[in-house]
Chains A and B, each alone.
Chain A
């Protein structure tokens, strides 16, 4: 269970371009559920996701993961938690060009100190699961949009995280690929994964796999829908 209390995030504090992205959000993310943060651009979804995933620190407020407060942890511990607990899928997928698809997927596991053979085995299993077996050695720029997306999902799962965080994952996908993505999310949820997504794509928030929709606007929560 992830809990955010009175969460506030201000960018460029004290400067003329000061901007409050998240203001006073208190919300709980339940385990093994698929939660969607829904709202227009600039509503604070991505900022909230960053804070949930230990990528950014809040300006005020506190974050709890299974009852343990994360806000005050030093950078190193926060990175450790981020690496072991969260898997990330970015809007642009952010894969590294020039290296093979499988090496991209293996990257988050490198600093863990797990043996390379073990990491590769895990990546191969994920590639088989996502029908990417034949593309393991292909460079990332040679892959289709759907394949790129699945490599990004495999990368997010390489460290077997408990929580998957996806920021506008369907923004650059057509409807067919977007539905395919949601099918994968549904199957991951069935396997017991907690999923948090930010999206304003109806294919995402209207998907039957979604358990809860948190509506955001102007940095605050304006409504909640449980489906």
Chain B
């Protein structure tokens, strides 16, 4: 009980001490919150973007077969799918139709796809939220698209897509196969590529080798390779954030060092007075510990809350220009809110602990002086 009362008394004094230096402590808190905000935003963002990547890959095909002419990707004959299905171990081989469309009005590239089952029929499209926003499109709007021979084809927007991973489908436009073919002038015997499903995932590499043997002008791309590509794209983004992260950590170290190395003459005098009137060195350390903890905990909670809101509710607006946009369209980027306790603990260790230590150590040095020094001041 006595221990609690002692802590309570010391905390009371610590808080009133902090309040009397309102300006200085408010400035310190603002700097500190900003540092934690940047660090937590980076942590939340990199983690969430990796989750997005794994979400994308969940639906990725095991093998994609492309035709290659003179080392470049070319349209693949639809008949190749039948040949591939004939290979033992292949469950299915489906042709895909997809490509890019440059919209001069919005200055953006759309990703166009003709899915297997397009329920809205011909003359209709389903668009990603990014496209909808860029052109202020709604369901029912007619979108004119310029075909390969210059004629304009009109499509009615039947659906605005909202998917689990907006990062990928923001610039997506889905349409019927016939519409796709007439838009790009692709004959019924050709497709963009073929996706292959295998029966035993461990045989993917073997089947890929068999495909190359059977169809020497093709290039099978297995999921691991796609994974590597996505990974490098996401990591590139994460890498930039890592630079910001280290910048933030560096700023924090300088800030903490400044705090650690500088006890003002006034603070030293106060420590001397407290010692002289009967406070033990340990009481002063406890007081400074509470001071460091209350400032850093307030900054930590404030910064991490702002970081959370920034990443998950404000679409990481501060990072947007650097980090996002699959093409030119920026997705309305609502990452799935997620907190990794380990990340929070890491951030806590990186910010609260060093600051608290940085507050305690110089005070401990000052508090070990003989109290009679104050008698002579």
Residues of A within 8 A of B (CB): 46-47, 49-50, 55-56, 75-76, 79-80, 82-83, 88, 90-92, 94-99, 103, 107-116, 119, 155, 159, 167
Chain A residues lying within 8 Å of B371, measured Cβ to Cβ, are 55-56, 82
Top 4 closest pairs, chain A to chain B, by CB = A98-B20, A83-B278, A113-B2, A50-B372
With both chains docked as a complex, state the minimum distance between the C-beta of B217 and any C-beta of chain A, in angstroms.
Answer: 83
Between A and B, 10 residue pairs with Cβ closer than 8 Å are: A83-B277, A83-B278, A94-B374, A95-B273, A103-B16, A110-B6, A111-B279, A113-B9, A115-B5, A116-B5
A residues near B12, Cβ cutoff 8 Å? 110, 116
Q: Cβ of B5: which chain A residues have Cβ within 8 Å of it?
A: 113-116
Distance between Cα atoms of A112 and B7 in the complex (Å): 10
A111 contacts B280, C-beta separation under 8 Å: yes
- Inter-subunit contact A119/B280 (CB<8 Å): no
Tell me which of B8, B21, B280, B372 contacts A76 (CB under 8 A). B280
Complex Cα distance, B3 from A115, in Å, reads: 10
How many chain-B residues does the 8 Å CB contact rule pick out?
Answer: 33
Q: How close is B14's CB to chain A, nearest CB, in angstroms? A: 10
State the Cβ distance, B93 to closest chain A Cβ, in Å: 79
Given A76-B280, A79-B280, A114-B5, answer yes or no on A98-B375 (Cβ-Cβ < 8 Å): no
Contact of B273 among A56, A94, A112 (CB under 8 A): A94
Chain B residue with Cβ nearest A119: B9
Contact A55 B277 (CB under 8 A): no
Q: Which residues of B are interface residues toward A (Cβ below 8 A)?
A: 1-3, 5-6, 8-10, 12-13, 16-17, 20-21, 269-270, 273-274, 276-283, 370-372, 374-377
Cross-interface CB contact of A107 among B13, B21, B269, B370, cutoff 8 Å: B13
12 further contact pairs, Cβ within 8 A, besides A108-B278, A111-B280: A47-B372, A79-B278, A94-B269, A94-B374, A95-B273, A96-B270, A99-B17, A108-B277, A110-B9, A110-B10, A111-B6, A116-B9
Least CB distance, B290 to chain A, in whole angstroms: 12
The residues of A that contact B274 with a CB separation of less than 8 Å are 107
